Amino acid sequence: MSTLKVTDETFEHDVLKAGQPVLVDFWAEWCGPCKQIAPILDQLAEELSGRITIAKLNIEDSPSTPGRYGVRGIPTMMLFRDGQMASMKVGAMPKAKLLEWLAEAGVGA
């Protein structure tokens, strides 16, 4: 399974009402670190399929959701579980650190 594109319009259904945890990557086309982390998120979407959904929200196309959750810098990754934001990380990080963060949050291999 690849990453899921979400928007302001689909956020509630795709993230808040999802049946499993969702990691949302808030990003933009012009963001270098966002481009750096994108292939890692694609890998995680494949490797953790069935346990977590990896979603991407472009802050330029959908500005109200990042505002609602206080996104100040990108990339910002938020982990949602049962309709609530459970954990947040700001900035690009290597795959091992992302997996460590997800494991600490109770999601992982």
What positions carry a catalytic annotation?
A: 31, 34
Half-sphere exposure of 32 (CA within 13 A, CB side): 0
Which residue's structure tokens are 């995680």?
A: 44
Q: How many residues does the chain have?
A: 109
Across the strands, what pairs with 5? 56
- Cα(87)–Cα(27) distance, rounded to whole angstroms? 17
- Cα(38)–Cα(58) distance, rounded to whole angstroms? 12
Number of H helices, E strands in the chain: 4, 5
